[in-house]
Amino acid sequence: MDLVNSLEGRLLFAVPKKGRLNAATLNLLEGADIQFRRENRLDIALVKNLPIALIFLPAADIPTFVGQGRVDLGITGWDQVKEHDAAVKAAASEDPSSPVSGSEMVMDLEFGACKLQVQVPEKGQYATGTDLIGRTIGTSFVSLTEEYFAQLEAQAGGAAPQKLRTKIIELSGSVEAACALGVADGIVDLVESGETMRAAGLKAIDTVVESVAVLIKSRSPSNTDLVDLIAARIRGVITAQRYVLCQYNIERSSIAAATQITPGKRAPTVTSLDDGWVAVSSMVEKKKIALVMDDLKRVGAQDILVLDIHNTR
Ligand SMILES: Nc1ncnc2c1ncn2[C@@H]1O[C@H](COP(=O)(O)OP(=O)(O)OP(=O)(O)O)[C@@H](O)[C@H]1O
Ligand SMILES: O=P(O)(O)OC[C@H]1O[C@H](OP(=O)(O)OP(=O)(O)O)[C@H](O)[C@@H]1O
Ligand SMILES: [Mg+2]
């Protein structure tokens, strides 16, 4: 099969090929009924039921491909989008003729939450970012880290000097090891649970960026209707993941109290039963369901059921 020709007329959609965002992204595609089979070792997969080709790329490269308009849509971390923007800004300040590149945010995908944080040895002499000025910092986020220290240096010493006083060393993984091994005095890396940071004897002293997985699009996508369709499907899956359907029976006289507890997304559905009872069905935010059930019990609800929602629009 001539792969390049088979991409003709298809919307190109970049997704993380491995790492922390891969599994949740594949889940989202399945929920949005984007069907594909990926051949072994091949980083391009044609979607069977829509004119889309999925391109499997490292999360860190996706903002570049989308930003340059080489692919139309992408899923990556907000941290990677900001890192790419910072790199483009830095390149433009050095060479105004360097290519403009940037993507547009479509939506927050509600997974992959983490923070890009400045970390130092727990029992060391550094307490703030400013204490690290002039020291050596290890990171995979070179442009954001340079921007961060350029700002601190400017605040500390008046006008920003041409050259950064703080030395930034680029590392591509296991960044937390850098301090213990004497490669760096501090690091800038991602923290989610904090387990990796603590295991390495480090503590966070500042946050550079708060991140979550995002859907981004190029400034001039090839098929805007299809972009809107995918966005609507993904939004439906995310909403469905955030809510459960709560059903219960209650005496008609208590319906006002009960529907105050479960007002639903727009309004609860109320069905009359015989003998002065009603059945109520309502969408409830998953994280609030235990409290909602406690409250419903208190106002006399019975036969409370909680059901997963697979999709919504
Ligand atoms: N611990 C984490 N918790 C949540 N999200 C994370 C975490 N680590 C990374 N991410 C998110 O996932 C994105 C990709 O990072 P990840 O480390 O998975 O990619 P990778 O470096 O391509 O893969 P790997 O580390 O397996 O080589 C990050 O930019 C960030 O948005
Ligand atoms: O706060 P935590 O829950 O411990 O997660 C944070 C860790 O997760 C990521 O590493 P990853 O697993 O991608 O390994 P890597 O360092 O090889 O990239 C990140 O770079 C941190 O090291
Ligand atoms: Mg990683």
Most ligand 2 atoms within 8 A of CB, residue of 191, 198, 210 to mutate: 191
Question: 114 in ligand 1 pocket by Cβ < 6 Å?
Answer: yes
pLDDT the model gives residue 160: 62
Expressed in angstroms and rounded, the spacing between residue 151 Cα and the centre of ligand 3 is 26
Expressed in angstroms and rounded, the spacing between residue 289 Cα and the centre of ligand 2 is 31
Expressed in angstroms and rounded, the spacing between residue 143 Cα and the centre of ligand 3 is 17
Expressed in angstroms and rounded, the spacing between residue 266 Cα and the centre of ligand 1 is 36
Residue 223 has pLDDT above 70, yes or no: yes
Provide, rounded to the nearest whole percent, the portion of the chain with pLDDT above 90: 89
- The pLDDT tens digits for 69-102 are 999 999 999 999 999 999 999 999 999 998 888 8
Residue nearest to atom 31 of ligand 1 (CA): 77
The average confidence (pLDDT) of the chain is 95
pLDDT the model gives residue 161: 67
Most ligand 2 atoms within 8 A of CB, residue of 171, 190, 202 to mutate: 190
Of ligand 2's listed atoms, the one at least distance from the Cα of 189 is 20
Is-same-fold flag (3-113+213-222; 114-211)?
A: yes
Residue 159 has pLDDT above 70, yes or no: no
Residue 4 has pLDDT above 80, yes or no: no
Of ligand 1's listed atoms, the one at least distance from the Cα of 190 is 8
Most ligand 2 atoms within 8 A of CB, residue of 79, 139, 187, 192 to mutate: 192
With cut-offs at 50, 70 and 90, classify the pLDDT of residue 31: very high
CATH code for the domain defined by 3-113+213-222: 3.40.190.10
Question: 276 in ligand 1 pocket by Cβ < 6 Å?
Answer: no
Expressed in angstroms and rounded, the spacing between residue 221 Cα and the centre of ligand 3 is 29
pLDDT the model gives residue 132: 98
Chain centroid to CA 95 = 31
Residue nearest to atom 6 of ligand 2 (CA): 191
Give the predicted TM-score (pTM) of the model: 0.91
Domain spanning 114-211, CATH architecture = 3-Layer(aba) Sandwich (3.40)
Expressed in angstroms and rounded, the spacing between residue 295 Cα and the centre of ligand 2 is 40
Pocket of ligand 2 (CB under 6 A): 19-20, 173-174, 176, 189-197
With cut-offs at 50, 70 and 90, classify the pLDDT of residue 18: very high
* Between residues 254 and 99, the one the model is more confident about: 254
Provide the 10 A C-beta neighbour count for residue 290.
10
Residue 3 has pLDDT above 80, yes or no: no
Residue 274 has pLDDT above 90, yes or no: no
Domain ranges of the chain: 3-113+213-222, 114-211, 243-308
Residue nearest to atom 28 of ligand 1 (CA): 77
User: Mean pLDDT, to the nearest integer, of 165-186?
Assistant: 97
Q: Take residue 60 and report the two structure tokens written for it.
A: 């860190």
- Fold (CATH) for 243-308: Alpha-Beta Plaits (3.30.70)
Most ligand 1 atoms within 8 A of CB, residue of 21, 56, 79, 144 to mutate: 21
Instruction: Mark 246-264 as b/e (b = at least 16 C-beta within 10 Å).
Output: bbbbbbeeebeebbebbeb
Expressed in angstroms and rounded, the spacing between residue 19 Cα and the centre of ligand 3 is 6
